[in-house]
Chains A and B, each alone.
Chain A
Amino acid sequence: MEKYLYLSLLPEALIASHLSPEEFGAYYATGVFRRSCGQAIFFELDKNFKSDFLPVDRIDELCQPHEDGSPHKSVYLAVYRVLEHVPLSAIKRLYVVTSDGKTLGLDEKPFEPDGEKLFMYQDLAPIRPRVISVLNPAEYVKRITSEDRLVHLDKFAFCDMKLGSLETDPENGDLGDLPYKNSQHLRDCIRAVQTKGKRNNKIFMRTLNGEILFRTIRRGFYVGDASGMKYYPLPSRDDLENKYYDWWRSALANFGE
């Protein structure tokens, strides 16, 4: 029975399983008896990567089929400080799962800046603040993982989110269909990072309380450290509506933050 190794971002955990990514996504979001629901985001990892910190060498021992021959759905190998110990090279596809278990696989693509000057990032692991920044994703990764800073992360995953007309008019721009709470604070944060000579990043929300609305994702997901960054773009709206409609329809049904 084939084994898979997954790195969950919500919550941060290393999990071995006999389930394929799509099956694992459905199981992880809705449980063994399909009685729960909850969004999931996870990477598929190269199960052969080596680590002194994580017990990846025990996968074969721990992830065995059940006595009745049924697959082992999840074996938690580690929780907490997992991402920082997984090399970027071991990270393969990213899977985003809606709360009712529809799974969409995203492939890595080279990142090209699109010239935008203002960003909102939702950090996913290891911590989950929402940040307003004037740095593009590549610059943001460099900044957050820079060892020159007193507070930094070794490696982290995040996504960028839409700001609508606030990008051009933070004072009066309408949020339109963007569901963010504390809109006045959001405008304050944008003003703070846009004021020359002040900071590049400003925390808008200390932690994510609920689920992310996938429709508010701007370009996609990122994972990076000081050595580099991997970028997983979300398909275009047209592709979501035509090629991946089952997933997109389910994503639109979610309540989120």
Chain B
Amino acid sequence: MNCLYIPTIAAADAAANASQAAESFCGISPVFWLVPAASILALIFARIFYCGMKRSEEGTDIMKKIAGHVRDGATAYLWQQYKMVGIVFLIITAIFAFLAYGLGVQNGWVPFAFLTGGFFSGLAGYFGMKTATYASNRAAWAANKSLDSGLRVAFRSGAVMGLVVVGLALLDISAWFLILNALIDDASQHHKMIMITTTMLTFGMGASLQALFARVGGGIFTKAADVGADLVGKVEAGIPEDDPRNPATIADNVGDNVGDVAGMGADLYESYCGSILATASLGAAAYMSASPDIQMKAVIAPMLIGAIGTILSIVGIYFVKVKPGADSKQLLGALGKGINVSSVLILIASAAVLYMLNLPNCWGKFWSIVVGLLTGIFIGKITEYYTSEAYKPTQEIAYQAKTGSATVIIAGMGTGMISTFYPVMAIVVGTALAYMFSAGWDFANISEGLYGIGIAAVGMLSTLGITLATDAYGPIADNAGGNAEMAGLGKEVRRRTDMLDSLGNTTAATGKGFAIGSAALTALALLASYVEELRIGITHASGKGLAKVDAIINEFALLGKDVKTAGLVDFMNVYDVHLMNPKVLLGIFIGAMMAFLFCGLTMNAVGRAANKMVNEVRRQFRETAGIMEGKVDPDYARCVGISTKAAQKEMMFPSLLAIAAPVAVGLIFGVPGVLGLLTGALAAGFVLAIFMANSGGSWDNAKKFIEQGNLGGKGSEAHKAAVIGDTVGDPFKDTSGPSLNILVKLMSMVAIVMAGVTVAYSLF
């Protein structure tokens, strides 16, 4: 499988030599410039799509008014969130600065890298949400003309989000790579690459922290508003969903934007950066003993795959077009065509790039990418099977509704738990294959095997530009439906926006598969990157008179190894990382518990926030005359404010806990404890995330199945039971579940950034 056995090796060598000769900027391969070029291209096309959306008609005055309320609420929420998060970022940056410049136990670039990661992640969420809030009424009005016009506006607006996320991520990555490459001065080119990649990893922590705040805060906001709007508006006041008389209805729509759009954007920005950076770091470590040129290529390979994916995602977006008068099947076909064309082209281009880079065993790496893509698609299909009302598992939950809400809850929990089997097995098989392909079927070739796992995660997310477009398109279509409903547009428009929304749900399942799968693979890669960061931490802290560090360096010396060149297994041996070490076992227990503790805290937070919203909606109905007659507008802003404040207050503790846990475990149990913690959190968190997302999704769709006219339809006893199931599932699928993936990665990132502190100051 090695490239050396390919007959066309002469051509590849020639190409490689040519590229070496063309090295121009601080030893960086010219092909690297494809990365910043792709990022700028993505941002240009995002701008083109954004302007195109802004040029389309806004609809009637009432549509503009409703969209304005939602936009104002969403913007107010994000600014408030960024203010709070900004304070947290400044405090943490100050701590990092003290650790780096005061104690000298941390890389001096960390405070800056941390800040830019958070800034770009927030920016991606902000642009996506701004576009979505401008697009909802325009998509509704376009659907008034035809289904394909509605699709065009909603999908191109979703594409803005997809392209902004990948564009900003690649811009941040390439900028830091260039800066660090120019400024880090190290006699050894090999060690320089390790320094660069591990430093870049720390901006992943900024992105992860921003993403966790966005997901948890957005999730609490949206569910508090949703539950408040439903419980008081629908159940107590008897008014329909998306009714302008409901004071919480705007907050509900705002929640869709801040949770499903801004939260998802920050989340996937973090996943995308995390996978590329972790893989680059593993590449630097895996090829430490190869030539500097090969090591450099291994570092930039994941960035290049991301760049190619970005360019081909733009191509794919242009394949999403339908003729006027198209039906839903044709629309689904068009969306699928866009994703499929991008995926196939990315595979072909990735093969070409890996071949041109002439990395050792390049075809093995290529097959790792294929495995990554296939694993993502498989998880997506399985997710769809377990959560769509078109299939048996969700229909079974709906049938359980005939005997009441208790059996609905039991069935949903059971189905959610069973649904973890296939995704986990897919990750097990996918990880094993990606490892083995990359390691040349040699289990002992750990460093190349781990690089393969990282490359598989990058492969999975390489289509993010277009898969995120189909993800973000869903909430836009959903909001367009809400806008059409509130503005009282005709039946045909509502039918079309419903169809667009339904299509979004189908395509989003694939996106979810990629997000879940890549999170697991990236977290695995981050575990290995943590060990690389230990190397840097020890190097930094050496010679500062720290007894712990000196003892570790001595242990390496006793093994006849140098910290700078020691392998993964050497680190495991020196730190006693094995299952018989109680520090590892205790860490595993704490890590597994963290996943549950985090879920419990976020779910209770939704309950408390929803309670405040319910009281406010009741108060407005009670005290403001004329709301129910439609003569007086409710105070929408107050509901948005309540959800905003509650979300800000409630998101802090669980998020800060995620930062504190790896630091505390590291200071008490040291490196073995941290590795146990990350392993426990990954194993429990990954399975729990799938369970919660799928249970919540299947409860939601079981309710929809009944509302479609089955088992007595809307208003029946079965429907009442299914509504209870859906309400229970809301924080499962929209708050706690999606946050778990970020929690696992944030804990890994914190552990990575604080590796120097752990190495220097751990108690045991």
Contact = CB atoms under 8 A, between A and B. Distances in A.
Nearest to B623: A33
A175 B712 contact: yes
Chain A contact residues: helix, strand, loop or mixed: loop
Interface residues of A, number: 31
Interface in B605-660: 621-622, 625, 627-629
Nearest to B627: A34
Contact of A100 (B239, B622, B710, B716): B239
Contacts of B239: 100, 250, 253
A152 to B, nearest CB: 33
Given A100-B239, A250-B240, A254-B715, A176 B628 contact: no
Interface stretch (B230-238, B469-477, B736-744): B230-238
19 contacts: A30-B628, A33-B622, A34-B628, A35-B621, A100-B239, A100-B628, A176-B709, A177-B713, A178-B713, A179-B719, A215-B713, A215-B715, A242-B490, A249-B240, A249-B485, A250-B239, A250-B240, A250-B243, A255-B719
B629 A34 contact: yes
Interface in A217-257: 241-242, 245-246, 249-250, 252-256
B714 A252 contact: yes
A172 to B, nearest CB: 16
Interface string A35-74: 1011000000000000000000000000000000000000
B236 A178 contact: no
B720 interface: yes
A29 to B, nearest CB: 8
B719 A101 contact: no
A253 B234 contact: yes
Given A177-B714, A215-B713, A253-B239, 18 more contacts: A26-B628, A30-B628, A33-B622, A34-B628, A37-B238, A98-B238, A100-B237, A100-B240, A177-B709, A179-B715, A179-B716, A181-B717, A245-B491, A249-B485, A250-B238, A250-B239, A253-B238, A255-B715
Nearest to B489: A245
Task: Tell which of A37, A100, A180, A215 has the most Cβ of chain B within 10 Å.
Answer: A100
B396 interface: no
A161 B240 CA distance: 23
Interface string B690-727: 00000000000000000011101111111110000000
Contacts of A26: 628-629
B74 to A, nearest CB: 25
Task: Tell which of B234, B625, B709, B712 has the most Cβ of chain A within 10 Å.
Answer: B712
B570 interface: no
A26 to B, nearest CB: 6
A176 B710 contact: yes
Contacts of A135: none
B241 interface: yes
Interface of B: 234, 236-241, 243, 245, 485, 488, 490-491, 621-622, 625, 627-629, 708-710, 712-720
A175 B485 CA distance: 29
Contacts of B629: 26, 34, 101
Question: What 8 A-B pairs are tightest by C-beta distance, nearest first?
Answer: A177-B713, A179-B716, A177-B709, A99-B238, A34-B628, A37-B238, A253-B240, A179-B712
Interface of A: 26, 30, 33-35, 37-38, 98-101, 175-181, 213, 215, 241-242, 245-246, 249-250, 252-256
B574 to A, nearest CB: 66
Task: Tell which of B243, B245, B715 has the most Cβ of chain A within 10 Å.
Answer: B715
Nearest to B246: A100
Contact of A179 (B491, B708, B713): B713
A254 B713 contact: no
B241 A253 contact: yes
B248 to A, nearest CB: 15
Contacts of B719: 179, 255
B240 A252 contact: yes
Contact of A176 (B238, B488, B713): B713
Contact of A242 (B238, B491, B627, B720): B491
B715 A256 contact: yes
Contacts of A252: 240, 714
Task: Tell which of B240, B485, B491, B627 has the most Cβ of chain A within 10 Å.
Answer: B240
Contacts of B708: 177
Given A176-B713, A179-B717, A33 B625 contact: yes
A30 B485 CA distance: 22
Contacts of A250: 238-240, 243
Contacts of A33: 622, 625
B237 to A, nearest CB: 6
Contacts of B710: 176-177
Contact of B622 (A35, A180, A181, A246): A35
B712 A100 contact: no
B149 to A, nearest CB: 21
Contacts of B234: 253
Contacts of A38: 238
Nearest to B706: A177
Task: Tell which of B237, B238, B243, B625 has the most Cβ of chain A within 10 Å.
Answer: B238
Contact of B712 (A34, A98, A178, A241): A178
B238 A100 contact: yes
